[in-house]
Structure 1
Amino acid sequence: EDGGPALGLLPRARWPRRQVELGAEWSLMMYTDGLIEGRAGAGSSQRLGQDGMVAMVNSRLEQGLAGEELLEAAVAEVRERHGGELTDDVAVLLLGRDPERIRRRGRSASRPGPVSAAPPATAPAAASVQRPPLYGP
C-alpha cells in the first residue's frame, strides 16, 4: 500500500515516509522480491506473496526461531515450497533489539564497553562458509 518505485529504477524517485514506534524489543525483516515471488508450493503457479511470507515467518517465530536460525529456516522453506532454487536473486536482512539479550551479553563481557552483536573483524571467514547460503544463485 505504501510502496513506491523500485529502488534504483528512477533517479529522483520519492517514497512515502512513516514513523513507527518500535518499543523496547523489536525486529525488522527486509527482503528482496525474489523471496516472495517464489511459488507457494512445488508445481503451483501461485506465488508465495507477502501474505504467505508473513504467515510463514510468524509460524517460525511461534516455534521459537530468531536471528540467523529464523532467516535460514525461512529461505529454506521458500526454496522447498518453490520446488528448488529460486529464479530471482534473494537478499534478506533481519535487524532487531532484544534488551534481555543485551543485558546477558553485557554481564558476560570480560571488560566494560559497547556490546556488539557482530563478530569481531578478525573472526575467521571459514565459519560462515560452512553454513548454507541465505541467497539464491
Structure 2
Amino acid sequence: MDDDDENLSLARVEKMETCCECRGVAAQVRWYYQPWQTKQGSRTFHGKKELHLSDRIDTRSAYTFEAKCVVHTLKEYSKLSKARIEDFFCRLEYKVDSATFMPDQLSAYCICEMPYNPDIPMISCPGCKER
C-alpha cells in the first residue's frame, strides 16, 4: 500500500437525491474502513486492498466525489488476473460503536486457523510456517 492509499476515504453510495439546500445532488453514503482504521488495527491476514463496510452513514454532496472504485467480494477479487488501482475487496462489516465485525469469524485456510490473505501466495502459512 502506498501513502495515497492511506489517505483514501471510501464509501458506498446508498442513495442519491436532489438537494434544495445545496442546489445540487446529495448522496447518502455508507463508509468503508481500512483495517488500520479499526480499533483492532491491521492483522497479517488483511490484504493491501481490503476494506470493511461500516454501519456509519452520512450525507455528502455528490460534488465531493473524486473517483469511482470497485469493491469485490474476496472470491471475486482472488479471481482477478490483475487488480487495477480502483479494485478493492471486502469480506467483513465493521460495527463502529461496538468495534466488532460481522461475521465475527473468518474461514481459515491453515491448521493454525489463520484466515486467507490474497496478497500472500499459499506456499507456506505466515502464522505457523506450515507448508
TM range (shorter): under 0.3
Based on CA coordinates, which of the two structures has the bigger radius of gyration? 1
TM-score normalised over the length of structure 1: 0.22
More strand by share: 2
